[in-house]
Amino acid sequence: DSGVTQTPKHLITATGQRVTLRCSPRSGDLSVYWYQQSLDQGLQFLIQYYNGEERAKGNILERFSAQQFPDLHSELNLSSLELGDSALYFCASSVGGWDRGETQYFGPGTRLLVL
Amino acid sequence: SQKIEQNSEALNIQEGKTATLTCNYTNYSPAYLQWYRQDPGRGPVFLLLIRENEKEKRKERLKVTFDTTLKQSLFHITASQPADSATYLCALRGGGSYIPTFGRGTSLIVHP
């Protein structure tokens, strides 16, 4: 158990819908990262927050947005869902930032299926 | 363009042998490189980090080497066990970048 929690574990929804994925980092970690993992793309970095502020952005679609709240939990919002958005979504946390080479602790993931 | 390459073909070895996995990269000057283990349907788990000024790092049965001239990292598991069967991902951070970039991973299968 990494100490990172993600809810829900599974999500089935229809195209065009909007969903929210939630992540609670390990106690004491200030950074939260979001990743998308699909069979054909591997693990793709989406976005990072550090202590409530956006720190880095990867290939995150405009239909996706995220935020980190004062209690450091984070939410990833996916809207106007398409079939191709079906994937595993992971959240990870670390004490500081990726720039320091810090270990990222990954959550169990949310499996999203868009029908 | 920047690329990280790991063998897409699964590596099959016999129990007790040494497994060696490769991570090659192009157009990066990584400050460090990390290796993770991922089991099916689960999140990656950190194993080892090696920095650009280090040649080799060890942890129990694991060893990582980093050759910035060849632009390659090798990940070794000695005395491999069936429980080592998993996908192994390398990840690196380019100089000055905050963005973590992962390879697609290599599946290791250790046969009893």
* Cβ count near A97 (within 10 Å): 18
pLDDT attached to residue A105: 94
pLDDT tens across B6-33, in order? Answer: 988 999 999 999 999 999 998 887 878 8
A101, pLDDT greater than 80: no
Residues from chain B contacting residue A109 (CB–CB below 8 Å): 41-43
pLDDT attached to residue B21: 97
Contact at CB, A98 and B99, closer than 8 angstroms? yes
B48, pLDDT greater than 80: yes
Q: In the predicted model, what is the mean pLDDT of chain B?
A: 91
Residues from chain B contacting residue A92 (CB–CB below 8 Å): 43
pLDDT attached to residue A103: 87
With beta carbons less than 8 A apart as the criterion, state whether A74 and A23 touch.
yes
Please give the backbone phi and psi of residue A83, each rounded to the nearest 5 degrees, phi first.
Answer: -55, -40
3-state secondary structure of A10: strand
pLDDT attached to residue B28: 80
Contact at CB, A45 and B34, closer than 8 angstroms? no
pLDDT attached to residue A42: 86
Spell out a b/e string for A2-36, using b for 16 or more CB atoms within 10 Å of the CB, else e.
Answer: bebebeeeebebeeeeebebebbbbeebbbbbbbb
Residues from chain A contacting residue B100 (CB–CB below 8 Å): 33, 45, 98, 104
